[in-house]
Amino acid sequence: MASKITLRLANRSPKQPIKKLPPSIEVPANITIEDIKALIARKTGFSDHNRIGLFDPSTKKTLKNRKAEIGNEQAVVSTGELLVKDLGPQIAWKTVFLFEYFGPILFHLAVVALRPHLYAGAASTPLSRTQQLGLALFVGHFVKREYETLFVHRFSAATMPARNIFKNCFFYWTFSGALCAWEIYAPWSRAAAADGHDTSQLLAAVGTAIYLFGEVSNAVVHLNLAGLRSPGGTERKVPRGYGFSLVTCPNYMFEILSWVGVIIALQSWSTAVFIFFGAAQMYVWAKGKERAYRKEFPDTYKKKRFVLLPGLL
């Protein structure tokens, strides 16, 4: 392999070209995709190299592994060409996650604090013990997710388009935040009337136990997944261990189980709406991960019949 290679640069989107894109660059064969992005960013005047997208000239697909050496990208080396695109303003994945999960915490605390002003008669009907439990379950879940975002998760992609933060936050802020808080803390909710009823108290205990099992199991899987990738790395390995013998994505499975516990404990229809749509999206993601694992590790990955819920999906 030559110590240096010359690559022609072409705009991936001719209708939206990078105006100062140089016609070619000469780089070491062992330079990484991320370093090439930084080099092109300097030459084109971009302050953030994450805006630079690099694409395979044959498949037109993005070169996702930012730590991969360009000399190992066969299509790029054989054609001597790279496709380049301005991806627009970027935002860190970690920042997006922090914003997503902060919204529900804010909504639940705000609705509880403003409850006397939001509901007729709420001033004379304080939160029931079951409603207080609901506050603890929701805030506890999203505080856990914030902690995992800061200290556990290792992201293969550094950034995403900044405009997507609004789309990503909308679901969490609207459904698990505004909708669930509005229903659960209302004086007319089933959680409000649960105190003093033996059946409701039993449901609250059973639901809380399921919730705690789901949350702890979800955390164990997240720690397992984080251990598959080195700090700052982008490598992928076959996931094994707790839950992976059952489904492709046990972290999703245990999260759904956790929310089933919340539904039972609070007898909450809004939580059921939230996790119904959430599970539908998780199913799409899980199917994609199963396809990716089978393609990337055809000889070592044990194919799963179910990607999300054993015996169902």
Query: Which range marks the domain in which residue 149 is found?
Result: 91-296
Residues 97 and 67 in one domain: no
- Residues 53-80 have pLDDT tens digits of 999 999 999 998 899 999 999 999 999 9
Same domain, yes or no: 153 and 274:
yes
Same domain? 112 vs 208: yes
Return the closest-CA partner of residue 257 out of 208, 303, 202.
208
Shared domain for 111 and 62, answered yes or no, is no
Query: Residue 232: inside a domain, yes or no?
Result: yes
- pTM comes to 0.92
Note whether 126 and 55 are same-domain residues.
Answer: no
Mean pLDDT, rounded, of the chain:
95
**Residue 153 parent element (H or E):** none
Cβ–Cβ under 8 Å, residues 66 and 34: yes
Name residues whose C-beta falls within 8 Å of residue 158's C-beta, 6 or more positions apart in sequence: 50, 66, 92, 93
Q: How far apart are CA 121 and CA 152, in angstroms?
A: 43
> CA-based angle 264:105:211, to the nearest 5?
25
Looking at residue 1, its pLDDT comes to: 46
Residue 313 lies in a domain: no
Give yes or no: residues 215 and 79 share one domain.
no
* Distance (Å, whole) CA 259 – CA 276: 10
pLDDT, one tens digit per residue, over 157-188 is 889 999 999 999 999 999 999 999 999 999 99
DSSP of 98-136, one letter per residue?
Answer: HHHHHHHHHHHHHHHHTHHHHSTTGGGSPPPHHHHHHHH
pLDDT higher than threshold 60 for residue 122: yes
228 and 237 in contact (C-beta within 8 Å)? yes
Same domain, 97 and 8: no
- Mention every residue, 6+ apart, whose C-beta is less than 8 A from residue 30: 69, 70, 71
> Do 33 and 173 belong together in one domain?
no
- In a domain, residue 311? The reply is no
Confidence of residue 2 (pLDDT cuts 50, 70, 90): low
Q: How many residues does the chain have?
A: 313
Note the pLDDT of residue 255: 98
Q: How is residue 192 annotated by DSSP?
A: T
Residues 40 and 132 in one domain: no
Same domain? 222 vs 248: yes
266 in a domain, yes or no?
Answer: yes
